[in-house]
A and B are shown apart, each in its own frame.
Chain A
Amino acid sequence: MMRFEDLKRAVFAGADNVIAREIELCELDSFVGDGDHGITVRKGYQKVESSINEQDPDSMSDLMLSAGMGLADTAGGAIGPILASMFLGFADSLKGKEELSVSDLADMFDNGLFRVQDLGGAKAGDCTMVDTLLPFVESLKNDESGDVKEALQLAVQKGLEGSDATKDMIPKLGRAKNLAERAIGYIDAGSRSMYYFLKGFADNAVV
């Protein structure tokens, strides 16, 4: 079971992990995009942290709402709004909850995934963050252990495999789509930043 303090710690750890990978994410993006993905997500997750610190939420749902509002304050580009929508999806599914089982977590991430796909329009295999998030969610849904730590570790492994698989995909959305086949051979930066968030989250969800 995760409680409020666990969730807060996990969100900050996920955000910190993305922020620390700024340069690596920019390099990944520079192969197919304009090389600023690391900067965009670094700024976005810094907003997540500052917004939570400022609003000082005291429920799980409000924690995610604060994070989403921070991201929604970023102008330009699609990543900020899409991530904001994901956090609002988390917030929605956490209403009234005070502790989270594996199946609550699966619901939370599933709702976030739904929002990401609804707003961004990406399907599985389009070479986006969905290719990390979707196998992560599927793995949580299929969990048989009932153990949060174990379930998250297995799920994040599936997320990493999903992100790795974007290497062989032809981008269907965003700027990278203009490159089409030429983008094959490169991991999608958005799928990687999503992995780093989930990795930081999973590693710190249970102490």
Chain B
Amino acid sequence: MYLKKLYNDLDTLVDEAMAGSRLIAQPDADKYSRVLPNSRITVRTDKYKKPKGLVKLTLGGGAGHEGPPGVFIRPGGFDAATQGDIFTAPSAMQMFRAIQAIDDGSPIIMNVARHAGDVLNAKLCKQLCEAHGIDKVYLSIGGNDVASAPKGHEKERRAIGGALNATSIMAECGESVEEILRVAEKCDSLSRSYGVGIRSAIHPISGLPIMAMPEDEIEMGIGVHGESSGNRIKLPRSRELAQMVCKILLDDMPIPSGSDIVLSLGGLGGMTWTELDILYKDLYEFLVYDCGYNIWRHSVRNSGTQELGGFILSIGYPDDEIKKWMTTRLPKGLYPD
């Protein structure tokens, strides 16, 4: 197999990428976090460990999405992260080792993206924890991809993106596990996401295209691993596509004109900034001028599924409580400067 990508050894590709991403994130990476020996588990350093009694948060997922989970391990973020192989959930044992490393008797919430492998291994991890006497482990399973399950089946929707997050700051502020779980669920239920695929990508291990994509067609409702929806359309202009995707999201979750919304646009790795800039302008014009919304917060980035051309759009509809948490600062004095 000929693979036209930069790599050294396919067996160590994920570990080398993880090591490189930490070097890029220096000096902060080593200040706030460390990787457990012979693992893909990142935890906070002792100096920046979250104080005992506060709820701990873990994160996990497959590799291959750019922006590895380890970079979120810091004050105001998460407490431990695990990474699996390319597009493969970490094993339950890896998740368990991560939890063992941060367990101080406080409740632990595992943030789980709703994909079969992630959910299965997280549930098994909880069983492993219980078998070892770590019994305050909770799962927060989220996903709001409109394309993956119809209205009325929201709890079956897979995770591809999101716009609202309050859990990390709530944990730092000493909120209870019940409160954090409640608000996490509310954030997910007030968010809607949708993916569009424009150009295919090559799987870095198998060397095969992750999906077939005819020259003049795009795929509506694509998954973040190239999962096909079968819904192909001719390539429209950016303005038209922006309106189509917004309408799909707003049909599923109507938002009154005049409301504050949160917008998250994530390029899938193979999007150019020119494309993202134009698309964001078109989204802005439709949502602000035509729909009458106020974009309260927004983020635009390339979050990556290898070189897959396309994007995930998420719209969030924050209520006052979510807004309060999204504007709360990390309490002073919890950590050294």
Contacts and interface: CB of A to CB of B under 8 A. Distances in A.
Interface string B73-113: 00000000000110011111110100000000000000000
Contacts of B89: 75-76
A119 B124 contact: yes
User: Looking at chain B, what size class is its interface with the partner chain?
Assistant: 20 to 34
B323 interface: no
Where chain B touches its partner, the secondary structure class is helix
Nearest to A47: B93
B91 A73 contact: yes
A84 B93 CA distance: 10
Which among A72, A85, A120 has the highest number of chain B CB atoms within 10 Å?
Answer: A72
B88 A75 contact: yes
A26 interface: no
B235 interface: no
Contact of A78 (B84, B93, B120, B131): B120
B128 A75 contact: no
B123 interface: yes
Contacts of A81: 92, 120-121, 123-124
A72 B93 contact: yes
B127 interface: yes
Contact of B128 (A74, A77, A88): A88
Contact of B120 (A69, A88, A92, A119): A119
A199 interface: no
B313 to A, nearest CB: 29
Nearest to A84: B124
A99 to B, nearest CB: 22
B88 A85 contact: no
Given A65-B131, A75-B84, A78-B116, A85 B91 contact: no
Contacts of B94: 73, 75
A42 interface: no
A158 interface: no
Most chain B beta-carbon neighbours within 10 Å: one of A65, A68, A76, A115: A76
A120 B124 CA distance: 11
A91 interface: yes
Given A76-B85, A81-B121, A69 B90 contact: no
B185 to A, nearest CB: 21
Interface in A35-86: 65, 68-69, 72-78, 80-82, 84-85
Nearest to B95: A72
Contacts, number: 56
Contact of B85 (A65, A68, A75, A92): A75
B120 A72 contact: no
Contacts of A115: 127
A37 to B, nearest CB: 17
Contacts of B84: 75
B85 A69 contact: no
A92 B127 CA distance: 10
A74 B125 CA distance: 12
Nearest to B117: A76
Contacts of A68: 128, 131
Interface in B217-238: none
B91 A88 contact: no
Contacts of A85: 123-124, 127
Nearest to B85: A75
A119 B122 CA distance: 10
B93 A69 contact: yes
Contacts of B127: 85, 88, 115
Contacts of B90: 75
A84 B123 contact: no
B131 A72 contact: no
B131 A88 contact: yes
A75 B91 contact: yes
Contact of A72 (B85, B116, B117, B128): B128
B171 to A, nearest CB: 26
Contacts of B117: 76-78
A69 B128 contact: yes
A191 B289 CA distance: 59
Nearest to A120: B120
Interface in B103-156: 116-117, 120-121, 123-125, 127-128, 131
A119 B85 contact: no
A74 B93 CA distance: 8
User: Top 4 A-B pairs ranked by shortest CB distance?
Assistant: A73-B93, A72-B92, A75-B91, A81-B124
21 contacts: A65-B131, A68-B131, A72-B93, A72-B124, A72-B125, A72-B128, A73-B91, A73-B93, A75-B85, A75-B91, A75-B94, A75-B121, A77-B117, A80-B91, A82-B120, A85-B127, A88-B124, A88-B127, A88-B128, A119-B120, A119-B123
Given A75-B89, A75-B91, A92-B131, 5 more contacts: A65-B131, A69-B93, A72-B92, A88-B124, A88-B131
